[in-house]
């Protein structure tokens, strides 16, 4: 009597669903950031802000929850900017090299600049606080600190910070410094 062999079961590769999805690759340049779909641009902007919040003593879970993001997602995308402490909590390093795309001013108006250093992003944030203070109160003392200063973008180019009061007044009159225009996408 001859044995009949059963047909072998076909083994499917594991995680076919997961491997079929395209993984999000963090952008390294402004062009790569702008090539992302809006959903991923928003995700990447949130990642940078979450790391900043963790640096300012929030827990990773709190900061991620504020933006509706998973701490696992933040760890996956911002891993190099975070470090696990001896107490088991995640903390942000003093500075990081994550790409941040931020608005800046020049004589034509608003434009986007990509920086790869959290210290440069902090300079831009302080600059905007000084511009906002001048726009609201007319007090230009905060802008003096930025006179003749520039930031270094992701390509290593120096981008000057606009501190000319006449130009800032002109841009403010044109509505460029309004809340809505600052937080709308720069064209």
pLDDT per position in the chain (187 positions), as tens?
677 777 776 666 665 555 555 677 899 999 999 999 999 999 999 999 999 999 999 999 999 999 999 999 999 999 899 999 999 999 999 999 999 999 999 999 999 999 999 999 999 999 999 999 999 999 999 999 999 999 999 999 999 999 999 999 999 998 888 766 656 655 4
**pLDDT at site 14:** 63
30 and 86 fall within a common domain: yes
The total number of structural domains that make up the chain: 2
124 and 67 fall within a common domain: no
Task: Tell me if residue 86 falls in helix, strand or coil.
Answer: coil
- Give the end-to-end CA distance of the chain in Å, rounded to a whole number: 80
80 and 120 fall within a common domain: no
**pLDDT at site 113:** 97
Model's pTM, two decimal places?
0.82
Q: Is residue 142 part of a domain?
A: yes
Final residue of a structural domain among 92, 125, 144: 92
Final residue of a structural domain among 92, 117, 133: 92
43 and 112 fall within a common domain: no
Look at strands 90-92 and 150-152 and give their pairing: unpaired
Tell me which residue range forms the domain holding 33.
25-92
Q: Is residue 15 part of a domain?
A: no
Look at strands 100-106 and 109-115 and give their pairing: antiparallel
87 and 135 fall within a common domain: no
104 and 78 fall within a common domain: no
Nearest to 41 by CA among 49, 30, 52, 33: 33
């Amino acid at each position: 009597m001859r044995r009949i062999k059963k047909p072998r079961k076909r083994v499917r590769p594991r995680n076919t669903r997961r491997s079929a999805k395209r993984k999000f690759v963090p952008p390294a340049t402004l062009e790569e950031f702008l090539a992302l779909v809006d959903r991923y641009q928003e995700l990447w902007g949130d990642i940078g802000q979450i790391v900043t919040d963790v640096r300012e003593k929030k827990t990773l879970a709190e900061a991620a929850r504020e933006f509706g993001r998973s701490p696992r997602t933040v760890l996956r995308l911002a891993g190099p900017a975070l470090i696990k402490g001896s107490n088991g909590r995640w903390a942000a390093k003093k500075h990081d090299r994550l790409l941040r795309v931020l608005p800046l001013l020049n004589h034509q108006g608003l434009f986007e600049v990509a920086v790869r250093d959290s210290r440069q992003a902090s300079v831009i944030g302080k600059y905007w606080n000084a511009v906002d203070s001048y726009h609201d109160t007319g007090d230009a003392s905060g802008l003096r600190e930025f006179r003749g200063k520039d930031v270094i973008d992701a390509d290593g180019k120096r981008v000057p910070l606009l501190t000319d009061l006449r130009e800032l007044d002109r841009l403010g009159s044109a509505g460029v410094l309004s809340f809505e225009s600052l937080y709308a996408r720069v064209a």
